[in-house]
């Protein structure tokens, strides 16, 4: 007979599922290796997608992709609404990004990741009708201290006081985009330093919430899918996150409204992903501040992954060696 505790373990994402999902992000990262620095981001993405889909099909869960790479007709993407897993085990919402940073991978730059985030079924906000989202992310000390609606200079000064740092010692991560020229100038005018990201603001948000990171805050407009994915990690880290949808035009604003979204609402992490049972798994494709990239060492391929669980509040870093002969990678 199955007791109540065992039933709960069957119905909700657990540590066993987290370890299974690592296999999928490891596979995606490893398959992307031959494409690093080759200038073909679509080729890298396809290789990672194919590997992730194959491994997910073996996992004991019924995963519904809420945050994917597009619609069903945009093959070979893992599309919104696709079911993954073998159908047994917990029913989950899932956010996937086989490579967060395809351009980084193609250029051979740092901070490309393979990412999966999971929560209980029905808890993940579907914000796919709006491409962009304005975000501010800090460690937990930012709660009640910073506010996305305040000028960035005020937020920097308030947060520096809350964490006992000089403003000049704060480092703020921002995507290096023309739309952020004024934001970057305002951060520097306040006396803080910037960490400009070429891509991959999921890693930027996570690093802002980690106590040992050199990044104190992550701000600016990035992808809505990345925002939902980041929220799963923030909940496990005990960090603070505020967002607001940023429609690009009136047509996108109307699509958001038609989808039941409030474009004027301030969404925090608990609004983006409800409940306290999230998993976040990421494997490095290229080296970065969060995890190391894939390395080939003689007969083995070495990967490094991070696993975050909000239910237990644990952060695990996993290094794994894979026999290279099993992967048949190009030299």
- Residue 43 assigned as binding residue: no
- Ligand-binding site membership of 226 (annotated): yes
Asked if 267 and 246 count as a contact pair (C-beta separation under 8 A), the reply is no
The CA distance from 25 to 28, in Å, is: 5
Tokens 């409940």 belong to: 275
Residue 211 marked in a binding site: no
Does the annotation list 15 as a binding residue?
Answer: no
The set of residues, in sequence order, having a beta carbon less than 8 Å from that of 308 and lying 6+ positions away, is 232, 233, 236, 237, 278, 279, 280, 281, 314, 315, 316
Beta bridge partners of 258: none
45 labelled ligand-binding = yes
Known binding residue 223? Answer is: yes
Residue 101 is labelled as binding a ligand: yes
Distance in angstroms (rounded) separating the CA atoms of residues 270 and 254: 24
Which element (helix H / strand E) includes 234? helix 224-237
Is 201 annotated among the ligand-binding residues?
yes
Does the annotation place 169 within a ligand binding site?
Answer: no
Neighbours of 145 (CB within 10 A): 16
CA distance 17 to 60: 7
User: Measuring CA to CA, which residue among 26, 115, 33, 69 is closest to residue 286?
Assistant: 33
Give the other-Cβ count within 10 Å of 249's Cβ: 8
H or E element, residue 2? none
69 is an annotated ligand-binding site residue? yes
> Do the annotations mark residue 159 as ligand-binding?
no
Q: Is 199 annotated as a binding residue?
A: yes
On whether 132 is known to bind a ligand per the annotation, the reply is yes
Question: Is 212 annotated as contributing to ligand binding?
Answer: no
| Residue 302 counted as an annotated binding residue | no
Q: Which residues does the annotation place in the binding site for substrate?
A: 100-102, 132, 177-179, 199-201, 223
Q: Which residues does the annotation place in the binding site?
A: 45, 69, 97, 100-102, 132, 177-179, 199-201, 223, 226
Q: Which residues does the annotation place in the binding site for Mn(2+)?
A: 45, 69, 97, 100, 226
């Amino acid at each position: 007979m199955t007791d109540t505790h065992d039933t709960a373990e069957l119905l909700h994402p657990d540590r066993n599922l987290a370890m299974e999902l690592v296999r999928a992000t490891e596979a995606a990262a490893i398959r992307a290796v031959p494409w690093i620095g080759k200038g073909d981001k679509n080729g890298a993405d396809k290789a990672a997608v194919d590997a992730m889909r194959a491994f997910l099909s073996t996992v004991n869960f019924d995963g519904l992709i809420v945050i994917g790479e597009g619609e069903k007709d945009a093959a070979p993407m893992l599309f919104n609404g696709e079911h993954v897993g073998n159908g047994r085990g917990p029913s989950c919402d899932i956010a996937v990004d086989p490579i967060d940073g395809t351009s980084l991978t193609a250029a051979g730059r740092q901070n490309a990741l393979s990412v999966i985030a999971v929560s209980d079924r029905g808890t993940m906000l579907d914000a796919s009708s709006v491409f962009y989202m304005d975000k501010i992310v800090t460690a937990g000390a930012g709660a009640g201290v910073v506010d996305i609606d305040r000028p960035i200079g005020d937020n920097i000064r308030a947060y520096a006081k809350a964490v006992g740092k000089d403003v000049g010692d704060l480092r703020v991560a921002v995507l290096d985009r023309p739309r952020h020229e004024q934001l970057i100038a305002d951060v520097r005018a306040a006396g803080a330093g910037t960490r400009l990201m070429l891509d991959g603001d999921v890693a930027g948000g996570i690093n802002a919430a980690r106590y040992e990171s050199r990044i104190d805050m992550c701000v600016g407009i990035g992808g809505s899918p990345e925002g939902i994915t980041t929220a799963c990690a923030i909940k496990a880290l005990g960090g603070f996150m505020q967002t607001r949808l940023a429609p690009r035009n009136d047509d996108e604003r109307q699509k958001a409204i038609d989808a039941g979204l409030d474009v004027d609402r301030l969404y925090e992490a608990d609004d983006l992903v409800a409940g306290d049972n999230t998993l976040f798994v990421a494997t490095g494709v290229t080296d970065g501040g969060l995890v190391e990239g894939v390395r080939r060492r003689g007969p083995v391929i070495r990967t490094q992954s991070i696993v975050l669980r909000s239910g237990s509040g644990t952060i695990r870093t996993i290094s794994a060696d894979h026999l290279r002969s099993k992967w048949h990678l190009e030299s």
